[in-house]
Amino acid sequence: AFEVAGMLKETGKVAYDPGFMNTANAKSAVTYIDGDAGILRYRGYPIEELAEKSSFIETAYLLIYGELPTADQLEEFDQMIRRHTMVHEDFKTFFNGFPRDAHPMAVLASSVSAMSTFYSDSLDPFDPRQVEISTFRLLSKVPTLAAYAYKKSKGEPLIYPRNELNYSENFLRMCFGFPTEEYEVNPVHAKALDLLLLLHADHEQNCSTSTVRLVGSSNANMFASVSAGINALYGPLHGGANEAVLKMLTQIQQEGISPEDFMEKVKRKEDGVRLMGFGHRVYKNYDPRARLTKKTADEVLETLGGNNELLDIAMRLEEKALNDDYFIERKLYPNVDFYTGMIYKAMGFPEKMFTVLFALGRMPGWIAQWTESVQDPDRKIGRPRQVYIGENERHYPGA
Ligand code: ACO
């Protein structure tokens, strides 16, 4: 691929590749995906093994530093993250300035951008010590900012972090606790959240990660680059699919449509309707993350007791699709988003928080990819070419 790029340069030609379907923007050692075989590995480790044996924090270490930590390294890393969860008190004034109905994802993106102003002593991309400080600041403080964004949208008092709690427990308490009450974290929910964050931790050169790299390529600092990634993820085509799945399932439930009739509608492409949570640009096989979230959906929905109609509908849709020629021929399988919306809803999160939770999970991936790009000896500012289709030279009247 590099030779081709070199040849194009020599001939003065450019490659026109909308959506970058065939253009690699990086050499990366972070994540491997084989979409045809349904394989996802972080630093060589299969996602299934990490999901079973690791935690979000340990996986974050793996993604960022390239190796699994020893027990001591993990303890130190975890303690560092717990110790830096507080954000500057002045952030409260900043939050007060947003309208009450502001989307929490817009609030999160703005506040991460504002970290460049609050933590201006760690902005140099080429000072490893400053990069390390920014890494801890992002991993530790973004959950606090995300929970503040949620509390702001509810008009509820902000809850300070409690460092004796682990990452997921702390986040759930900051979202659902009240200053005047003891909040007991549901262990099934905390474990499920940890798993979902781990499954979202990286996915190589997707839209938001490429954005982080592109912004970083101008030597912009880590906070500025990551906040650009959050804004890219905010777009419904990238981060909004689990919300769309939940809307689809709720619509099927409320209108009393049978999953079978809905599938017929999808196959007729009536009103452009698609089976949301199915299909993927890269996976032409079962998304390995979807298998893992299906099991978690079962466990979390169980904590609500009774039958869960939405899960039943989802399972019937999936069963139907996996045995249907329309889906088989087009290689359409469940993707990670098919079950995550239901899990988040069962935990008590409103739909507009779903993308914020995605951003929380993706943080280690963005940091790892930004750092890798800063250290890349072939580093260049990102500057795509274009195919000009405008007017030829013409002249201003009277010129
Ligand atoms: N339901 C029904 N038909 C579908 C679906 C679907 N979910 N996805 C694709 N198809 C059909 C298309 O109509 C097309 O059919 P045709 O050949 O008869 O024209 C064929 O499959 C290929 O579809 P494309 O849109 O060309 O495939 P592409 O790889 O560009 O799109 C995408 C991938 C956007 C994810 C698509 O499958 C989709 O819209 N899925 C639903 C939305 C969704 O779940 N997105 C989340 C992706 S995961 C993530 O971002 C974390």
Name the active-site residue from 337, 376, 378, 395. Answer: 337
Determine the Cα–Cα distance for residues 154 and 159; give it in Å rounded to an integer: 13
Residues 273-288: what's their mean pLDDT? Answer: 91
In whole angstroms, give the CA distance from residue 23 to residue 33. Answer: 16
What is the arithmetic mean of pLDDT over 40-63?
A: 98
Write the secondary structure of 135-189 as one string of H (helix), E (strand) and C (coil).
HHHHHHHHHHHHHHHHHHHHCCCCCCCCCCCCHHHHHHHHHHCCCCCCCCCCHHH
Residues in Cβ contact with 245 at an 8 Å cutoff, skipping those fewer than 6 apart = 276, 277, 314, 337, 338, 341, 342
Q: Report the SS3 class of residue 40.
A: strand
Cα gap 35→363, rounded to integer Å = 23
Q: For residue 179, what pLDDT band results from cuts at 50, 70 and 90?
A: confident
| Catalytic status, residue 203 | no
pLDDT band at 94 (very low <50, low <70, confident <90, very high): confident
- Tokens 């480790």 appear where? 45
Residue 358 near ligand 1, beta carbon < 6 Å: no
Ligand 1: residue whose CA is nearest its atom 4: 274
C-alpha span between 13 and 7 (Å, rounded): 9
pTM across the whole model: 0.92
- Does the structure show a pLDDT above 90 at 206? yes
Centre of ligand 1 to C-alpha 374, Å, is: 34
Q: What is the pLDDT of residue 6?
A: 58
Q: What is the pLDDT of residues 269-278, one digit of tens each?
A: 988 899 999 9
Residue 1: pLDDT band by 50, 70, 90 thresholds?
A: very low
- The 8-class DSSP code of residue 68 comes to P
How confident is residue 268, by pLDDT bands cut at 50, 70 and 90?
very high
Q: Does the C-beta of 276 come closer than 6 Å to ligand 1? A: yes
| SS3 assignment for 248-307 | HHHHHHHCCCCHHHHHHHHHCCHHHCCCCCECCCCCCCCCHHHHHHHHHHHHHHHCCCCC
Q: Pocket of ligand 1, candidates 280, 287, 333, 336: which has the most ligand atoms within 8 Å of its Cβ, to mutate?
A: 280
pLDDT the model gives residue 9: 66
Beta bridge partners of 32: 41
- Which pLDDT tens digit goes with each residue over 108-166? 999 999 999 999 999 999 999 999 999 999 999 999 999 999 998 898 999 999 999 99
Res. 191: pLDDT tops 80: yes
**Quick check: 163 and 85 in contact, CB under 8 A?**
yes
Known catalytic residue at 337:
yes
Q: Identify whether the C-beta of residue 248 lies closer than 8 Å to the C-beta of residue 342.
A: no
The response to whether residue 199 sits with its C-beta less than 6 Å from ligand 1 reads no
> Of 25, 30, 24, 23, nearest to 372 (Cα)?
30
Catalytic option among 84, 189, 280, 287? 280
Distance from Cα 256 to the centre of ligand 1, integer Å: 25
Determine what percent of the chain falls in helix, strand and coil, rounding each to the nearest 5: 60, 5, 40
Instruction: Please tell me the residue having the least CA distance from ligand 1 atom 46.
Output: 241
Judged against a pLDDT cut of 80, whether residue 10 lies above it is answered with no
**How sure is the predictor about 4, in pLDDT bands with cuts at 50, 70 and 90?**
low
Average pLDDT over the chain, rounded to whole?
93
pLDDT at site 131: 98
Tell me which of 109-123, 160-174, 310-324 is least confident: 310-324
Tokens of 88: 């500057």
Find out whether 308 and 301 touch, Cβ atoms under 8 Å.
Answer: yes
pLDDT of residue 358: 96
Q: What percent of the chain has pLDDT over 90?
A: 78
Percentage with pLDDT > 70 across the chain: 97
The predicted-structure confidence for 341-364, as pLDDT tens digits, reads as follows 889 998 999 999 999 999 999 999
Our answer on whether the CB atom of 280 is closer than 6 Å to any ligand 1 atom is yes
336 lines ligand 1 (CB under 6 A): yes
Structure tokens at 116: 């460049």
The CA distances from residue 242 to 93, 125, 360, in Å, are 32, 34, 15
Rounded Cα gap, residues 52 and 195, in angstroms: 9
